[in-house]
Chain A
């Protein structure tokens, strides 16, 4: 069994740690690229959302390299993501490829026994004992938390750094070095080292950079390829950015969901505008916009794929928040047709607007 999984931001680093730790053979699809998107769009229904298309591209590229099993988390609605697995299974059947899908669903939907069976399909290939497997899992979680922390720090400090581009360089070399390690232990050491180095980046505390919160649909904000590397671009502009939704946040949120104790702060802040969950991360998007304003950010950018149902609801609500709190919010819709030039122009115009607002040359209404 050669296992593969679709990309989601930096999760591939944690996935490497996990499979290395378990001693399971895995095929990492090439980092998201144009070709993956093109192949994905070719084999996908026209109106499905962007993440589906990129994921299909990932599988195809991984299958070319010899993968035969796909690992995918699931959900049971109301967002479309829950149906991905079934449609993708049908797709590969139609293409005449024998691909085994392992879908990790919540135990409430498939029963705890079935969940155990599915996890067992992976773990029985591991040479490690139970204790070793749990250790590998914990290490992978540690890696994920570390890389998320590093990334968050780098994105935020990019606004304050003295030597321009230092944070970005550190972040990039961190990912590269982490991928070049051979064992999860080494990887954690590398990440710890980079975390320290980021803490020691020379910063100018007197600087007052533009601060932007990135909110919206979880896949399109975490996966840099799908949003045309907006966070990297903002780093280049010297903008401090913050994004609350990260893979480690997602894991925590999903595990806590049955107890209803997940992301209380976000829910509390969203309550005035959207009191019920609308699936996906629509409520989170609203809560984060309110929080960003409270935390002194200059503006927020909402990103979501074309046709994303929960985010359309949030998009209808955001202008009210913007008006009531005097807080600029821009919505960007991405799909496989998004042109880079138009996208960049809008981001630049938004930053210009935020800058000029500070000088009180414009009134925002």
Chain B
């Protein structure tokens, strides 16, 4: 059985788990290519127009895969930390895909509760059964996949340059280089190192979010806020860039909370959507770096 894995949304964070799991089960894998113009166009064509860019891109990846595999993984991430959510669109992602893209092959849409090993295993058991009847094999695949995922280190931690900038935002905006137009490379070329939220330990993030009146109930909002607040307090970076997709409901809240927290600390929001022009983005990034370099603020 050929399993299709779209390279969109949380693929960037959890691909070691998924690829290892299916490989160990002995199925063939097709992974869509890095996001490109064709994929984005397909996504925009199929997706409901009010959705945000990452969801549109994901639709594009699924459209690319739909004739190339027998079953497509559409991870319905419900939770990755207890009592927190990701985004309402993640909970309804399989439905959005099913109803927007015609002639879909079979899909894997069982909800994923990745808060503990025990909660996640039922997902693996059920999905494994589609591919193999061997229970032991499923268990082994699950364990190997988890080990791979644990070893996997994502993110940037480059403070060797003259200036350092923290890049904040959802992982699918930070690590999809087509969507963010190679922002990390651009910054490096300007002599700026980049750090991302993975460098700050979880316990430190917990400490930061305690400041909030209300417990943050979105995992990535919690990470973004905690990270921005931490690097600001410890003065680890010269400035913060928030990459946000247009009409992202969560970003509209988190950006406000971060701004409230950091006051006059250099901060720039880069809005991205399917119309973003690269020249405009370049100008803004350069201007921001210039400002940091001159120490205007």
Contacts and interface: CB of A to CB of B under 8 A. Distances in A.
A286 to B, nearest CB: 9
Interface in A291-332: 306-310, 312-317, 319-320
B134 interface: no
Given A74-B214, A333-B50, A309 B99 contact: no
Contacts of A48: 252-253, 256
Interface stretch (A6-14, A80-88, A354-362): A80-88
Contact of B95 (A274, A279, A333): A274
A169 B246 CA distance: 43
B57 to A, nearest CB: 15
B89 A313 contact: yes
Given A310-B88, A313-B88, A83 B96 contact: no
Contact of A280 (B51, B88, B99, B257): B88
Contact of A319 (B99, B215, B253): B99
Given A273-B95, A316-B100, A85 B217 contact: no
Given A87-B257, A90-B260, A280-B88, A109 B215 contact: yes
A191 to B, nearest CB: 36
Interface in A149-177: none
Interface in B93-136: 95-96, 98-100, 111
Given A276-B91, A278-B91, A47 B251 contact: yes
Given A90-B260, A276-B78, A306-B247, A313 B217 contact: no
Q: Choose among B95, B111, B246 the residue with the greatest number of A CB atoms under 10 Å from its CB.
A: B95
Q: How many B residues are at the interface, by size bracket?
A: 35 or more
A48 B248 CA distance: 9
A78 interface: yes
A89 interface: yes
Given A45-B256, A77-B217, A279-B88, A313 B95 contact: yes
A309 B252 contact: no
B212 interface: yes
Interface in B237-255: 246-253, 255
Contacts, number: 123
Contact of B92 (A83, A278, A308): A278
Given A280-B88, A309-B89, A316-B51, A80 B249 contact: yes
A277 interface: yes
A42 interface: no
A79 B89 CA distance: 10
A48 B253 CA distance: 7
Contacts of A83: 214, 253, 257
A119 to B, nearest CB: 18
A307 B252 contact: yes
Q: Choose among A76, A82, A273, A309 the residue with the greatest number of B CB atoms under 10 Å from its CB.
A: A309
B3 interface: no
A282 interface: yes
A257 to B, nearest CB: 15
A312 to B, nearest CB: 5
Contacts of B100: 316
B88 A278 contact: yes
Contacts of A87: 253, 256-257
Nearest to A310: B88
A49 interface: yes
A307 B247 contact: yes
B164 to A, nearest CB: 27
B218 interface: yes
A276 B95 CA distance: 10
Interface in B56-99: 76, 78, 83-89, 91-92, 95-96, 98-99
Contacts of B218: 77-78
Interface string B211-239: 01111011000000000000000000000
B51 to A, nearest CB: 5
Given A279-B85, A307-B249, A320-B99, A76 B91 contact: no
Nearest to B91: A278
Given A307-B252, A312-B48, A333-B50, A282 B212 contact: no
Interface in B252-266: 252-253, 255-257, 260
Contact of B99 (A45, A76, A79, A317): A317
B245 to A, nearest CB: 10
A76 B48 contact: no
A86 B257 contact: yes
Given A82-B217, A317-B99, A282 B253 contact: no
Contacts of B91: 78, 276-279, 313
Q: Choose among B214, B215, B218 the residue with the greatest number of A CB atoms under 10 Å from its CB.
A: B214
A165 to B, nearest CB: 36
A85 B96 contact: no
Contacts of A49: 249, 252
Contacts of B78: 276
Nearest to A47: B252
Interface in A61-80: 74, 76-80
Nearest to A109: B215
B169 to A, nearest CB: 14
B213 A45 contact: no
Q: Choose among A83, A308, A314 the residue with the greatest number of B CB atoms under 10 Å from its CB.
A: A83
A313 B92 contact: yes
Interchain residue pairs A-B with the least CB separation, the first 4: A313-B92, A77-B217, A78-B85, A47-B252
Interface of A: 45-49, 74, 76-80, 82-83, 85-87, 89-90, 94, 103, 109, 273-274, 276-280, 282, 306-310, 312-317, 319-320, 333
17 contacts: A45-B255, A46-B252, A47-B246, A78-B218, A82-B217, A83-B214, A85-B213, A87-B257, A90-B256, A276-B78, A276-B92, A306-B50, A309-B88, A312-B51, A315-B48, A316-B100, A317-B92
Given A85-B213, A90-B257, A309-B249, 11 more contacts: A47-B251, A78-B87, A78-B217, A276-B76, A279-B88, A312-B96, A313-B95, A315-B50, A316-B95, A317-B92, A333-B50
